[in-house]
Amino acid sequence: MKISTILLRKGANVISLRPEDTVQTASAILTINKIGALPVRNSAEELVGILSERDIVKGMHQMGAACINSLVQDLMSTKVTTCTEDEDVQSVQQKMHNGRFRHIPVIKEGKLIGVISQGDVMHMCIEQAQTEASVMRELAIARG
């Protein structure tokens, strides 16, 4: 299965931040949208980082309450591992496992087109397993 399959199910809406946004704004967007990470794009729409809940927790530990007023660029991860829509889900899942992160931006021709989470991958794997089990049951019944 390809990453494009997951993107089709999720839709094309990519919510992102700017480096100059505050952590308070980022926290609100994460909470309202029930997501765990946001890509960060500059004014040219280029991916320049990713901010995760984990980054915010780390910032709170280091800065205390002042973290909420800091800028996204102060906490975001700038070494971002990405994938393409043509990659196999298993290889992307392995990238996420090896890198110990739960979200990965999807890039097409240098542009951000989505973000895939471990939850998205797990949901698709479960759905695929259920479909395969259903087909096997139908084959077993047909063969008698």
Q: What is the pLDDT of residues 83-97, one digit of tens each?
A: 999 999 999 999 999
**Sign (positive or negative) of CA dihedral 126, 88, 86, 81:** positive
What is the predicted pLDDT for the residue at 123? 79
How would you classify the pairing of strands 37-41 and 47-52?
antiparallel
72 touches 21 (CB < 8 A): yes
pLDDT, the chain, mean: 92
Q: Give CA–CA dist 28/32, Å, rounded.
A: 6
40 touches 112 (CB < 8 A): no
Model-level pTM?
0.84
Is the pLDDT assigned to residue 53 strictly greater than 80? yes
> Measured at the alpha carbon of residue 68, what is the angle toward residues 64 and 71, in degrees to the nearest 5?
115
All structural domains of the chain, each given as residue ranges with its CATH number in brackets, are 3-143 (3.10.580.10)
Task: Give 138's pLDDT tier (boundaries 50, 70, 90).
Answer: confident
